[in-house]
Structure 1
Amino acid sequence: MKFSTVTNVGFALETYLIFVALQCLAAPIAIFLTRPEKVQRGDGSKVKIVLQDSWAAEMKELWKLSCRKDVLLLLPVFWASYFNQYEGNFEVYYFGVRARALIGLVSYIGTLLSSWLISRFLDYKKLCVKNRIMYSFYYVVIVHIIAWVYGWVVQSMYTANPPSLDWADKGFSRGLFVVILWEFSRQALQNWMYYMIATKTDNISELSRLSGILRGQESFSQAVSYGLNTKEWFGGRVPLAVNTILLGLAVVPTWLAIRDHEPIEHESNDESQTKARDEEETSVNSGEKADYIVKQAPVAE
């Protein structure tokens, strides 16, 4: 037992050293990234950058953005999206080591499938961006209802008669699908949220602030959720209840945010050049017309 403990500690230290090395390498590698102003999107449009003159100005812009109505309306859904840290406790309470390993593999496959499905729809060009956002929001709500109703049913069964399941045991698939549905619904919500905020601005500096504010709120909710899950609250019912309430409360503010949202769609270089050429021709024609009027006007005696 002593040897096993020492081995585990050594393995943990080696794992942390790998992460430290990756973080140290990140800064010099970032120097070789292409500068944002040189980046060109797939549709030919350029990345817009508006930098502030000082840190004080940057903090002022950050504060103004944090107080915006649409950002405040999105806070509940960003809190709720990552609040379900009970999933890990659920696996520990009711599954053995082998079963948890299999659940980890299969649930990530479900996550990838969820991300692929909603991303394909969000990139569907035959619908306008506003409709893609609205329809995918309804899809996310329906998926969450299915996942959480099923999760509550299985949790109630497990609370009444707690199992300890291996992958070969009868009833293993019931609990497995709870985790898969939770991961599936959460990934769909994550993809939708970040797609939506990406359509709020074509300025990469403002987009960085938006992402930072809302991702910070996710981290805050994760920290609170982890603290809540340090205790076995009535067989997991309290964490589930808190997360369910948060998800329910987030629906109306999120719908209000997308109802008033006017997505910004990027123009390709060809479209931008055509637009500029049309404006120039309009300006020239207006000028010629004005000159003609001046020439034809009678001279006052």
Structure 2
Amino acid sequence: MSNFDAAPPNTHAGGNDNALRGQGSLPMNPTTNADERVDMGAYRKDVPRWKQIYQHSLTQMLLLSVQAFCGPAMADAIAGLGGGGLATPQTSNIATAINYAMLATVCLFGGPLVNKLGTKWALVIGAMSFPIRGSSYYCNSKFGNQWYLIFGGFVTGIGSGCWYVAESGSIMSLAPANSRGKYLALWIVARNLGQLVGGAINLSKNHVKGVTGGVTPDTYVAFLIIESLALPFAFLISPLEHVVRSDGTRILVSEKLTFKQETKLIKFTMSSKLILLSALWAVWSFFYSGTWSTYLATYFSVRSRALSSLISPFFCIIGCFGLGFILDMKSLSQRRRAQVGLFTVVVVNTGVYIWSIVMQARFNTTNPGKIDWDEPLYASSFLPYFFVQTTGPLSQSYMYWLLSSFATDAQANVRNGAAFRCLEAVGQAISYGMNTQIKTSPMIGFCVTFGLMAAALGPMLALVNSTPDRIPADVILEEQEIPEKKLADFKAEA
């Protein structure tokens, strides 16, 4: 057992060690911060209080979380309406498939783009595109304007791609080493709180029994207003090199490479061991969303879909913080935490998929029509969706925690996050593409999703069992501090 817990060989992050570079990290450039550990006493004395709060890692994580609440969470809330809340979900599925196809394309080149623009401006560009989604659904619902819905999916895919890459690099870099699980849980919860608010708006406007077709146009106006609020918070983001974590460390940021150099590293990152082993997991992680959107539109009434979008995020809050505490347990090595986390995520997802397949097999035999919340069948048919809204985010939170365990600097987190987001978006595009025909049984999507998780498990086990016991970036920081400390001691003695 002690051998199983021990760190794998070659996890040293500096010098001539190439093990981590083969997993997607770059040969280190000189860093922009010579002294990565802040003298917190002097910092509190010399820096104004407002600036300390502004540059604090938790503040920056909260600013990102607010944007996630206003943007991606509202998109999730619209998806939670089932087919985008439209009377016929085909057009919504087509628009969403195009959205994720463009998102995947931008994410493929997102590492060079974001590292060149900087995190803040990539987030600003993304936030500017968020309101287009709400407005396109409003125009389709109000005027039957389908071309704008599809065009909106195209444009928001580009903007969201910039935002997602910047976000993923930030969320993997901001947290102190022993608090990454809780920070990621905070981010995931913010996304789901957005869906909760969106669900409340939806239910308040679509609670009358017997209404058929899509949700009311006013519902999309409310989403549009919230989506517009992301932009001012994007402008408040601080450059990563200015952030001070709660444990007194700064984020390791290397000197910027040219755009040409960054572009050449796309192939390096996409072919790295870290990304290759996590590729199927990335494709699988949100693959369920297209099938569940179709499932809701097919089998649930308008107001029961509205109720579903309201209550489905509640258990996610408990689940994500629970996983966060597991991933931050100091009594276990980082490698052991990675193993326990993977086991937890796979077990809960397996239970949900089996339940989903059983329910769909029942519906294939006897079509239930449009299930309302006051019908006996509602609980058993809705609960799989309720739990998948927890197990899906758990899979995401866990994977970003795992990716950050291999990072050598903030730029590596951006590149790895971009690659993972690209593959994740490919999975979502395929999923929604599969569901563009409402007559296609959701059973196909459920089985494909289950099969993808099973296929991803082997490579993920190999990756998890090679997790270093310490984050390479932390090792690099210590290596940089030792010579500086010796020099300071020498000068003091002289």
TM range (shorter): 0.7 to 0.9
The residue identity in structure 2 corresponding to 1:78 is A
Contact 1:81 1:186 in 2 (8 A): yes
- How far apart, CA to CA, are the structure 1 residues paired with 2:374 and 2:235? 51
Moved more, 11-20 or 69-78: 11-20
Moved more, 51-60 or 83-92: 51-60
The residue aligned with 2:392 is: 186
- How far apart, CA to CA, are the structure 1 residues paired with 2:359 and 2:219? 34
After superposition, residues 135-154 of structure 1 pair within 5 angstroms as 135-154=340-359
1:44 equivalent to 2:178? Answer no
The residue aligned with 1:70 is: 274
After superposition, residues 121-270 of structure 1 pair within 5 angstroms as 121-163=326-368, 164-232=370-438, 235-265=441-471, 267=474
1:114 equivalent to 2:319? Answer yes
Moved more, 213-222 or 6-15: 6-15
The residue identity in structure 1 corresponding to 2:428 is Q
- How far apart, CA to CA, are the structure 2 residues paired with 1:64 and 1:6? 42
The residue aligned with 2:486 is: 280
Q: Which ranges in structure 2 are unaligned for 5 or more consecutive residues? A: 1-138, 144-216
Contact 2:434 2:445 in 1 (8 A): yes
The residue aligned with 1:290 is: none
CA deviation after TM superposition for structure 1 residue 140, in Å = 0.8
1:33 equivalent to 2:237? Answer yes
CA deviation after TM superposition for structure 1 residue 12, in Å = 8.0
Contact 2:350 2:450 in 1 (8 A): no
SS of 1:154's equivalent in the other structure is helix
User: How far does the alpha carbon of each residue in 1:244-279 deviate from its partner, in whole angstroms, 9 at most, with x for none?
Assistant: 2111111101111111222543659xx949972897
Contact 1:150 1:178 in 2 (8 A): yes
1:82 equivalent to 2:286? Answer yes
Question: TM-score, with normalisation over the residues of structure 2?
Answer: 0.51
Distance change >3 Å, CA 36–CA 175, structure 1 → 2: same
The residue aligned with 2:58 is: none
The residue identity in structure 1 corresponding to 2:486 is E
- How far apart, CA to CA, are the structure 1 residues paired with 2:484 and 2:241? 25
**254, 260, 269: which one pairs with 1:56?**
260
User: How far does the alpha carbon of each residue in 1:53-95 deviate from its partner, in whole angstroms, 9 at most, with x for none?
Assistant: 3101111223211111221110000001111121111112111
The residue aligned with 1:8 is: 142
SS of 2:375's equivalent in the other structure is coil
Distance change >3 Å, CA 233–CA 97, structure 1 → 2: closer
- How far apart, CA to CA, are the structure 1 residues paired with 2:235 and 2:440? 51
Query: Larger radius of gyration, structure 1 or 2?
Result: 1
Alignment RMSD? 3.1
Contact 1:47 1:202 in 2 (8 A): no
The residue aligned with 1:99 is: 304
Question: TM-score, with normalisation over the residues of structure 1?
Answer: 0.81
Tell me how many residue pairs correspond in the alignment: 275
SS of 1:44's equivalent in the other structure is coil
The residue identity in structure 1 corresponding to 2:350 is I
User: How far does the alpha carbon of each residue in 1:106-147 deviate from its partner, in whole angstroms, 9 at most, with x for none?
Assistant: 211122222122112112222221111110101111111111
Contact 1:122 1:133 in 2 (8 A): yes
